[in-house]
Amino acid sequence: MTALLMQGFPPAEGGQVTLANWRTSPFNHWAFHHVREIVPSAEIANDPGNVRDLPTAPADLEAIAFNAGEGARTTFGQFLDASDTDGIVVIHRGRIVLERYGNGMTARTPHILMSVSKSMLGLLAGILAGRKILDLDKPVTAYVPEVAETAYRGASVRQLLDMRVGVAFDEDYLATSGPIIAYRKSTNWNPLAPGETASDLRRFYKHLAGSDGEHGGRFHYVSPNTDLLGWVIERAAGARYADLMSELLWQPMGAATSAYITVDRLGAPRCAGGMCTTTRDLALVGQLLIEGGARGGRTIVPESWIADITLAGSPSAWRQGSFLGYYPDIDMHYRAKWYVERGPRPLLFGMGIHGQNLFVDPRAELVIAKQSSQALPIDPSMIALTSRAVNAMREEMQGN
């Protein structure tokens, strides 16, 4: 079916990818690396004269075997097949040791990051905080007074960053009605019903008036928090989010290809999930973190910000949150839009629905960037298998 998607002039009706089906299988196999043909977007420009090319040292890593659960054994290559991998790049000690693409992806094809987009915002926020442009202790309403009559009243920028805002919102990706559908329509991700009036992302916030707890309490995953942060960032810096991401992160780190981000009908960026990058450039973000946020002696992301992500999150807030069941028996926290497995060998990672991941193991100098088109938005069994696969790779590379 994947080979028949969007083939022909026009494509056959059964193979057409549209705004109504682009996030469902099998249509997502094509859509996830053609997002700008479906949803409006803004370019995050790279600098062609400042590209960082990493050396390659291919290794037979797909043969790594590991326990897949319930006594079954599998290999890393079989895991890539089972998890609908569109692109994977593994960097070890500054060299690309594994690179593979499928479903029509190439090394220069931008693919949607889904909620790994949040982790990219977390780095941009750190850059702006380090430059004293963004004050994390200020209330959100100091930058965006338009949300003063919503559940965000009294919340700080830091609480938005750490997903510890007491706003009532059900992040149910399989819902067919309710606030999450209104949210998607406001961001141009879902089509309008016949006769329905177009909304926009910033007007959507007036619907989030209900509270379900105190600000600064448990980890409570709410995607609109991150889009609101994008609004805060634009107000604080006086510039478009896409331009800031380009100027402060994408160009200085040496991205090889321009990225882009989906926008609503008035240009508001979908910071929570709409950023699209190549797999190589996503891996390069992880390499930047391993190198302390600097390139060629120039600080891009403050090293203190990376240390704060690694060490300063709240395990207590995590344990009270709804994601605990996805990572049982793992000591974790969430900080500045990054997940962290705590301990002597911390693992930083971003995670997005349908199998988007960026894993960074600073001790092993290992980066794993994986972009996928899994059928389910959240698949607990696939999250568990991914965790096992990543740990097998970490163990393999730790000794090399």
* Strands 347-352, 356-361: pairing kind: antiparallel
Amino acid symbol at 249: L
Catalytic (active site) residue 246 = no
What is the CB neighbour count within 10 angstroms for residue 49?
Answer: 6
Choose among 390, 359, 353: nearest CA to 375. Answer: 353
Tokens of 160: 């938005």
Rg (CA), the chain: 20
- Which is nearest to 282 in space by CA: 71, 25, 50, 109? 109
CA-to-CA separations, 48 to 45, 72, 83, 274, in angstroms, rounded: 9, 46, 33, 23
What are 222's two structure tokens?
């709410």
> Which of 25, 41, 83, 115 is the catalytic position?
115
Listed in sequence order, the residues at least 6 apart from 81 whose beta carbon sits closer than 8 Å to its beta carbon are: none
Give CA separation, 67 vs 63, 331, 357, in Å.
13, 21, 20
Distance of CA 213 to the CA centre of its chain: 26
Q: How many C-beta atoms lie closer than 10 Å to residue 378's C-beta?
A: 17
Active site residues: 115
